[in-house]
Structure 1
Amino acid sequence: MRIEKLIVKDFRSHGLTRVTFTSGINLIIGQNGNGKSSLLDALLIGLYWPSRPKDLKKDDILRAGGTSTEVTVFFEKDGVRYQIHRNITRGMAFAKYHDGTSWKHVTEASQRAVRDWMERLVPYDVFLNAIYIRQGEIDAILESDESREKVVRQVLGLDRYENAYRNLLEVRKEIERRISSAEDYLKSTENLDGLMEELERELEDTLREINELSPQIPELEKKLGEVEKRLGELDALAEEINALRLKIRQREGNVKALEARLGELKKGIEEIRKRIGELEKKVKEFRRLKEKAELYLKLVEFRKRYADEKARNEKLAEGYRTQIKAIEERLSELGEMEKRIRELEKKREELKGKIEGLEESVKAYEEVRSLKGNLERLKKRLELKPEEIERLGKEIEAAKRRKDEIQRELEEINGKRGELKSRVGERNKAILELKKAKGRCPVCGSELTEEHKRELITKYQLEVKDVLREIRELDSREQKLRSELVKVEATLKRERELISQMELFEQIKELEGKLKKYDLEGLRKAVEECDELKAALGEVEGELKSLKTEFGKAKALEKRKEELRKKLEAIERKLAELEGELAELGFSSVGELDERVKELEPAYRRYLELKGAESELESERKRLERTEKELAEAEKELQEESSSLKGLRESLREKEKLYSKEEHEKIRESFVSLSRELAGKRTQLKELEKKRDGTMEKLKKLGEEKERRKERAKELEELRKARERVQSLREKVRRYKAMLKEEALAKVGELASEIFEELTEEKYSGVTVKAEDRGIRLGVVYNGKEYGLGFLSGGERIALGLAFRLALSLYLAGEISLLILDEPTPYLDEERRRRLVDIMGRYLRKIPQVIVVSHDEELKDAADRVIRVSLENGVSVVKEVELGV
């Protein structure tokens, strides 16, 4: 797997970031908090969301002020290019591959589907354990033997074999459960033959009863059929008689209803004819009043229009006259403004000349204010007095010298302590050998007596005691030196503060020198005078602008006055035309018009009352026509109903002659009796057949159970063999896991030894890695002796943890094509960081692509590509730099 490109949007401190990765060593560098490790977290989320470490939560990754978190990863695997895109906020995702011409989907577009596909391509555990070395793994390696073994299991994939070993146990338990089930089944089905014999006897009895009952049913069915036929004939005859009686009652009702309907229709025709006569008189009156009504409407309409238009136009005319008068008054006022405008223009030019003469002084004053502001800010930042700066400089120089002395003394103490511990080990070993020895001394080879043995043991014990006291003295001295070193380091940390304060002091002196060149009081007065002149100029220009604006309105006012006069003339013409229309109608005044309208109003009201008479007359005539037609149809229908009623009564008399109620009841009783007897026989036969079928089904199942019992017996033998094979395979997995772990740890130990030797300048000659019951023990070889982690200084412990973790990944270098290291240099001193650069160049180049995140600039020397991350206005910014290999 090789990462090609990462695109991140609104992820933690990243707004929109694009990063390209190449083969070789890619270094992501920048200060802590700038967003370096966020790029690795985004890569992990882009590939495997929603699977991710517990410290990566959805609510914590959206950038403050961002809209939605999006991650796109381009990578190559086995010669095929892929891309995965995820919108974490909206829960959207897709995965595609490139077929040489275009991108195509590899799965459905959902977060879980993409995660499952990626899990099949590169499992999450493999990526997180073998490929990605996260911050904190070095601490886990150094924490304890148990935590170290957990890291080894995860990186080397030993958990898979442990899972297989446990799973095979579960398989064996399942086989044993099935064996037990088969044995129970065979025991419970031992008496199948006896059950089958009993069922066969029961089946024989049932068949005999069926044979006796079967002939009786056809005889009963024949007799019942004859009775049922006669009963059907009588039922049909009775039904026909009842139907005829019902029809006769219906016909009689219809005749009575038709007779009543005829009387109502004749009465209605008389009333309609009377109504038509009344309406014909109203229609004649309506046509006579039509002319007066139309004249009334015409005069009313004109009267309304006359009143509305006259009132509206008279109001407009009055408004136009008022506006014309106001414009004439304003034009008179504007004639006085021209003189004032010329006076103000002259005053404006005088003020501008004075202001220009003061501009140099104003600029100088602004510069003085800027210098004073800078001086005040610098003085606030200056925390030390000149004598304190000088004293701090001397303290820092002394601290540098003392640090070198302490480090040299600590190295001497470590060396001497190692020699003393070696002597203690040698003497303790000698004591043990002496306690076991018999005959000759294992040290000098001379004859060994009990007294001589005790003397030698006592001597060695005293030597061990003296050496241990000396070691404690060295430890006490080391503790004091390290305590003093902490204080010295605290003093040295103030060197940056000293440099900053010295620079501030020099800047303050320079600014104070510049300020002495200016006449501050004279410049201040010049600025005040300039401000007063500018205020006066503003007032003059404001008044001048207002006057010119008003004066420029004269022409517009003249134009507006002419427009208003034309509109007034048009209104006056309209009023004259309106009076002309009144005269054309024959009236000299509106009063005459109102009198004529009043005269015509009663005729108009009567006209409205009679307006619907014509349509109502037409409607009544049509109604008369429909009613007369309906009367004729009713008379015809009455004649037909009477004839039909007569025929039905004759047919009823003929049917009643053929029917006997007594015979009908007797036949019905016979039919019920025979039906019950037949139903009983059929039910009895059905129960016997059901019993027969059930018994046969039981016999069939018992036969099948007999065959199944043979199969289960055979299955039991197979299960017993399978249990033996699973137990054998489980033992092989256990042995293979132990062998794989032993081989891997041996190779990891070799690689870790090489790296650790270089990190410690070959002070140590190797690293020991041993698998024990409770974990993996890690040690070092010094002067031919093996020591635990307690023998190492703090920096050496960190170097050993880093060497061991890199060795684990290098052991897998033939299987992985990508390695990611997040901050591999925490707590390493400057010398070990430089050596790590050499190690990366020599060892990590065995892996096709390496991505390293660090804040240490020294690692640039080992990188093929540098990706620099900085923080600008709270947002992470990335710049990429190609380097020569």
Structure 2
Amino acid sequence: MQITNLTFKNFMGYKQLTLPKKMKEFPKGLILVSGKNSYGKSTILEGILFAFFGPKIFRGRNASSFITYGESKAEITIYFTVDNVKYNIYRKWSRTGATTTKLFEWVKSSYREVEKFDIEKFFEISTEQALNTVFVRQGEVEDLANKKGADLREMIINLFRLNIIDDALAFLDKESKNAKFNKEKLERKRVPIDRIKKDIAGVELENSELEKKLIENIQAKKEHEKQISDFPSDDLISRLENLYKQQNIHEEKYLAYRNDFQQKIKSTKLNIVDFEPIIKINEKISLLIKEENDVKSQKETLDKRREATYKGIGKTNGRIDDCKKKIKKMEKSLLFTKNENNTEVAQCPTCQKELTKEHYDDMVDEFNKEIAISQEKVKSITKIIENLDLDINGKQSKLDNVKEQITMIQGLRNDYQNYQKKALDFDEAKKGTNVFLAEHKSKFTDVSPANIKTLSNEKKSLITELNTISKESTENQLKITGNLKEISDLNDEINYMNNLEKEIGEFEIEIDHINKAKEFVRRFVTEYMVVKRLVKNIAMMTNKYIKNFTSGQYSDLVLDLTGTKKTGLSLKIKDNFNGVHESVEVLSGGDKTALGIALRLAISELMSKIRPTKESPKKNPKIDILLLDEPLAALDETRRERILEHLIKSKTFSQIFLITHTSIPTNINAHKIIVSKDHTTGISSAVFQREKIAIETLLNS
């Protein structure tokens, strides 16, 4: 892998940064990042890691802390090649936490976005592993040389991705948990077999009782069927029962109509012989109707006479009123005065002739006489009308009496006819019953109505009992069948419980095997993986560097098990001045730093060459660069020179970005990124300087 270009926009102290400029690319080999403290050297390495793995590489910091003050978002683009293919990765994030990540691949003549990608799978390295191998933070080199016991062992396991063993242990833990869960699940289902056998015995006993009852029901059913067969058919019983019922109804109606007729005739002068034959009473009704018509005709004649007489008295009263009006009119209209003859006269308003008082009095007398005559006539007519009223009322009384007799006799005639009809209906009903009995009497032991009712009830009772017996038999048969199935199910349950016991035993064996396997894996990692393979190879690789880094004083690094359970590692190194292996605790600070760098280089180099186990990934991480932050701070100039010379010549890593604020030996020729800072704005900037002397010349020197 080779990083070729990078672009920062509003990333921490960098407002705008493009390295290298003018379409140039970073070369392979060692690139020194130099500048004063707090200028932003580490930011360049952090930006590279941030682009590849996102903000999770910086735990405890929020996204806004990576954005330049006063800006709303930051952007980073890193251009790189992997397996001779060009890529660039782009990240953008805002203060709200919204992020955008895109990976582009160079295809033919342009970059095309890779739609779906997982960056850890793409580089074949986890973020945690990258931080432990690719990136060496300030102070971590010294810390590596000072790691002790289990911490050192744990670091080696993590660096070499021996978490496959942890995965194996986790898998075994999961399998153990599942096995225990399944075992407990089966144990919750377990039922004592003796209890199941007891249940079977109870069901078998119940079936024995049901079978006895079933035999009893079969016998009772036969007896009931025999008794029912001795009875007449339901149709004959029903027909005879209905005939008796109809006969009884007709008899009740006949008696009711007869009694009603007899009661009514008692209140009259008639006798039943008057209705026998019926023509006699019809003749009597005809005579009464003729009498009614005669009386009605007489009354109508009297009514007409009375009406005419009323008209006559009306005319007479009219004449009386007319005379009275004339007298009254004359009194009002005539005004008598004396004339020259001293005679009282008045002018007639009608004819305008003079009318004497004497003449006027004569006229009034005539009118009064006429009134008297008319009044006498009224009295005579009134007497006639009163006599007519008496005659009319007499005729009306007689007419009412005749009508009442007609209505009463007609009602009795109707009652008599109905009574006779009901008698015929009753006779017909008896006749129908007798015809039926004549045909079917032999099928009945007793044909009396009371017995037929009892017979019907007895047969119905037997049929109900038979149905109950049949229902009970069916239910018992179903119970027996159900119990047989239950017995079969219980026997299956016994077999299931036997298999369950076997499965529980198998789970117990499996759990025991898993526990033994876990112990074996733990011992395997401690005793074999770490000691017999990785530790030996790490020591061999480190020995290539340590003698040169310490000016020949130290060599032959030894790593061995430590601790009561032999789960940790201890570091010892040979002091060539006295020939004794001593603990690294006695080393000076500079020697420890040199040892730490040697260990780091050895571990990183070893990771690119071997697989700790057959199950380890066949492909090594695609990221074969190193990002070193101030690893030389504790070293003197000689050690710095030796280490830098080694890094320049190293072909293990395609690129090494090394941050330093210490002076660089004059004979060290390396590419540089020079970082500066504007103290008025706080904005950092950087430029790339390619080493004029070709690195290839140095490698061959």
TM-score if structure 1 supplies the norm length?
Answer: 0.41
Structure 1 CA distance for aligned equivalents of residues 554 and 574 of structure 2: 6
Shift of 1:832: 1.4
Task: Provide the residue aligned with 2:507 in structure 1.
Answer: 719
Letter in 1 for 2:116: T
Deviation per CA, 1:422-451: give whole Å up to 9, x if none: xxxxxxxxxxxxxxxxxxxxxxxxxxxxxx
Aligned to 2:103: 96
Cα gap change, 1:811 to 1:799, in 2 (>3 Å): same
SS in 2 for 1:69: strand
Q: Deviations over 1:58-91 (max 9, x none)?
A: 2422211222122334445556655443323242
CA distance in 1, matches of 2:655, 2:480: 81
Separation in structure 2 between the aligned mates of residue 46 and residue 24 of structure 1, nearest angstrom: 21
Spell out the pairing of 1:128-139 with structure 2 (5 A cutoff): 128-139=131-142
Q: Does 1:809 align with 2:597?
A: no
Q: 1:776 to 1:208 in 2, by over 3 A?
A: same
- Structural mapping, 1:136-215, within 5 Å: 136-146=139-149, 147-162=151-166, 164-165=168-169, 168=172, 171-172=175-176, 174-175=178-179, 178-179=182-183, 182=186, 186=190, 188-196=192-200, 198-199=202-203
State the alpha-carbon separation in 2 of the partners of residues 5 and 95 from structure 1.
Answer: 16
Matches within 5 A, 1:206-605: none
* Partner of residue 778, structure 1: 571
Aligned counterpart, 2:528: 739
Distance in 2 (alpha carbons) for counterparts of 1:685 and 1:866: 106
The 1-side partners of 2:143 and 2:33 are apart by: 24
Partner of 1:796: 591
Distance in 2 between the 1:800 and 1:141 partners? Answer: 9
The aligned residue for residue 646 of structure 2 is 839
Q: Give the C-alpha shift of residue 696 in structure 1.
A: 7.9
State whether residues 196 and 494 of structure 2, in contact with CA within 8 Å, keep that contact through their aligned partners in structure 1.
yes
CA separation of 1:62 and 1:788: change in aligned 2, threshold 3 A: same
Q: Name the amino acid aligned to 1:741.
A: V
- Change in CA separation of 1:793 and 1:130 when aligned onto 2, cut-off 3 Å: closer
* 1:47 maps to 2:21: no
CA offsets per residue over residues 570-596 of structure 1, 9 Å max, x none?
xxxxxxxxxxxxxxxxxxxxxxxxxxx
**Taking structure 1 as reference, are residues 157 and 849 closer, same or farther at Cα in structure 2, changes over 3 Å only?**
same
Per the alignment, in what secondary structure is the counterpart of residue 755 of structure 1?
helix
Match of 2:17 in 1: 17
Q: Deviations over 1:143-172 (max 9, x none)?
A: 451444443343233454356346535644
One-letter identity of the residue aligned with 2:165: Y
Unaligned runs of 5+ in 2: 20-24, 222-233, 239-463, 610-619, 696-701
- Residue 69 of structure 2 is matched in structure 1 by 64
Match of 2:298? none
Report what 1:730 is aligned to.
Answer: 518
| Aligned-pair CA distance for 1:788 | 2.7
Change (3 A) 1:121 1:747: closer
Contact 1:779/1:787, CA 8 A, preserved across alignment: yes
Counterpart of 1:653 in structure 2 is none
Correspondent of 1:768 among 558, 562, 574: 558
Matched-pair contact (CA < 8 Å) for 1:9–1:16: yes
CA distance in 1, matches of 2:209, 2:79: 83
CA distance in 1, matches of 2:76, 2:200: 73
> In proportion to residue count, which structure has more helix?
1
Q: Tell me the distance in 2 between the aligned counterparts of 1:152 and 1:848.
A: 23
How far 1:821 sits from its partner (Å)? 1.8
The answer for unaligned runs of 5 or more in structure 1 is 109-113, 216-221, 227-676
SS in 1 for 2:547: helix
Kept in 1: contact 2:637–2:665 (CA 8 A): no
Q: Does 1:875 align with 2:683?
A: yes
Distance 1:176 1:81 in 2: 52
1:198-237 residue CA offsets vs partner (Å, 9 max, x unmatched): 4466578789999989x9xxxxxx99xx9xxxxxxxxxxx
Give yes or no for the alignment of 1:753 onto 2:543.
yes
Contact 1:756–1:800 (Cα < 8 Å) also in 2: yes
CA distance in 2, matches of 1:744, 1:789: 19
Alpha-carbon distance in structure 2 between the residues aligned to 1:105 and 1:80: 13
- Counterpart Cα distance in 2 of 1:80 and 1:709: 64
Measure how far apart 1:744 and its partner are. Answer: 2.1
CA distance in 1, matches of 2:17, 2:38: 16
State the SS of the aligned residue for 1:65.
coil
CA change 1:80–1:732 in 2 (3 A) is farther
User: Larger C-alpha radius of gyration, 1 or 2?
Assistant: 2
- Inter-partner Cα distance in structure 2 for 1:831 and 1:848: 25
8 Å CA contact retained: 2:648, 2:670: no
Go from structure 1 to structure 2 and tell me whether the alpha carbon gap of 1:87 and 1:716 turns closer, same or farther (over 3 Å shift): same
Judge conservation of contact 1:29–1:857 (CA < 8 Å) in 2. Answer: no
Question: 1:714 & 1:807 partners in 2: Cα distance?
Answer: 54
Can you list the C-alpha shifts for 1:713-758, whole angstroms capped at 9, x where unaligned?
4434543553465355435432254222123222322333332222
Q: What is the alpha-carbon distance in structure 2 between the residues aligned to residue 766 and residue 73 of structure 1? A: 41
**Which stretch shifts more, 15-24 or 828-837?**
15-24
Q: Does 1:826 align with 2:619?
A: no
The answer to whether the 8 Å contact 2:153/2:530 transfers is no
Call closer, same or farther: CA 1:135–1:153 in 2, change over 3 Å: farther
In 1, are the aligned partners of 2:557 and 2:573 still within 8 Å (CA)?
A: yes
CA spacing shift, 1:203–1:48, aligned 2, 3 Å: farther
Equivalent residues of 1:140, 1:151 under 8 A apart: no
Give the letter for the 1:767 counterpart. Answer: L
Give the one of 837, 855, 860 matched to 2:661: 855
Residue-by-residue CA offset, 1:77-112 (whole Å, 9 max, x unaligned): 55665544332324222343537355243438xxxx
Distance 2:85 2:161 in 1: 26
CA contact (8 A) 2:29 2:648 kept: no
Contact 1:82–1:95 (CA under 8 A) maintained in structure 2: no
Secondary structure (helix, strand or coil) at the match of 1:88 reads: strand
**Closer, same or farther: CA 187–163 of 1 in aligned 2, 3 Å:** same
The verdict on how the C-alpha distance between 1:761 and 1:99 changes in structure 2, with shifts beyond 3 A counting, is: closer
- Poorly superposed stretches of 4+, deviation over 6 Å: 203-213, 680-697, 859-864
- Equivalent in the alignment of 1:30: 35
Return the alpha-carbon distance in structure 1 between the equivalents of residues 475 and 152 of structure 2. Answer: 79
Query: C-alpha root-mean-square deviation of aligned residues, in Å?
Result: 4.6
CA drift at 1:857: 5.4
Q: Is the 8 A contact 1:135 1:824 kept in 2?
A: yes
Question: C-alpha distance in 2, partners of 1:727/1:192?
Answer: 35
Distance 1:201 1:5, change over 3 A: farther
Are the aligned partners of 1:94 and 1:107 in contact in 2 as well (CA < 8 Å)? no
Change in 2 beyond 3 A, CA 1:699/1:738 = same
TM-score, normalization by structure 2: 0.50
> Deviation digits for residues 268-301 of structure 1, max 9, x if unmatched?
xxxxxxxxxxxxxxxxxxxxxxxxxxxxxxxxxx
Q: 2 CA distance for matches of 1:119 and 1:746?
A: 31
Instruction: Name the amino acid aligned to 1:771.
Output: L
Q: Kindly state the Cα deviation for residue 16 of structure 1 after the two structures are TM-superposed.
A: 2.6
In 2: Cα distance, 1:208 partner to 1:13 partner: 101
In structure 1, the residue matched to 2:129 is 126
> 1:762 Cα deviation (Å)?
0.9
Which amino acid is the alignment partner of residue 719 of structure 1? F
